Amino acid sequence: MPQVNSRRDEYTEATRRALLDAATALFAEKGYSRTSLEEIATAARVTKGAIYHHFASKTTLFEAAIERLEVVEVARMREAYDEAPDAAAGALAVLDVFLTACSDPIYGGVVFREGPVALGWERWHECEQKYNYAMIEYVVAGLTAEGRVTVPLSETFLALAFGMLGAAGQLLARAPREQIPRLQEECRVPFLALLAGLSATS
């Protein structure tokens, strides 16, 4: 039998979604520290008490906002990779999706500009490992399966590649809008060199 959500369940989910929508927009626009729970409640058209029903604190709400953004972007990256003709093209497609996302005021602003401030470096780093580091592992596994990489890639290599992605994300998230196209192209250069180097080992 298919599960049928009650009206109460639907209302609860709608409230949580409204809170995340409002919080994400405000965090991107005003920053974490300058956004109050009262503003989020007003924007979501709920009471402040409704926030605490769903989230223990502003930090918890912020983390949920990041998680939701990351789930969407990782799905886009996986789709881009899976639709590419081969692993090398897939890796570049993933990179372009990532750089475009980091240039977006919402994703880039919340995840890369405000994330380390709101969550602290360690917690933010853990969150990024769960999503973007895992995506690097997925891409590298594909490259290896196609024989484009024939030597084992250490955790050090993966950590360095992850660090490069993080640096690109930080740069794009803070850049003036008019500089984004140039910076995206410049960010692609070291990754293209990295992919060429990996292919050269095969």
Q: What are the φ/ψ torsions at residue 53 (nearest 5 degrees)?
A: -70, -30
| 153 or 171, greater pLDDT | 171
For residue 180, pLDDT beyond 90: yes
Mean pLDDT calculated for residue range 104-118: 97
**What band does 154 get if pLDDT is binned at 50, 70 and 90?**
confident
pLDDT value, residue 12: 81
Of 9-13, 92-96, 144-148, give the lowest mean pLDDT range: 9-13
Burial group, residue 10, by CB count within 10 angstroms (0-12, 13-18, 19+): exposed
- Quick: pLDDT tens for 57-73: 999 999 999 999 999 99
For residue 199, pLDDT beyond 80: no
Give domain limits for the chain. 58-200
What is the residue type of 95? Answer: L
* Close Cβ partners of 9 (under 8 Å, ≥ 6 residues apart): none
Mean pLDDT calculated for residue range 76-83: 97
pLDDT value, residue 202: 46
Q: What is the CATH number of domain 58-200?
A: 1.10.357
Answer for the pair 194, 91: CB distance below 8 angstroms, yes or no: no
Angle at 128 between CA 93 and CA 68, to 5 degrees: 80
Q: b vs e for 171-192, b when ≥16 Cβ sit within 10 Å of the residue's Cβ?
A: bbbebeeeebeebbeebeeebe
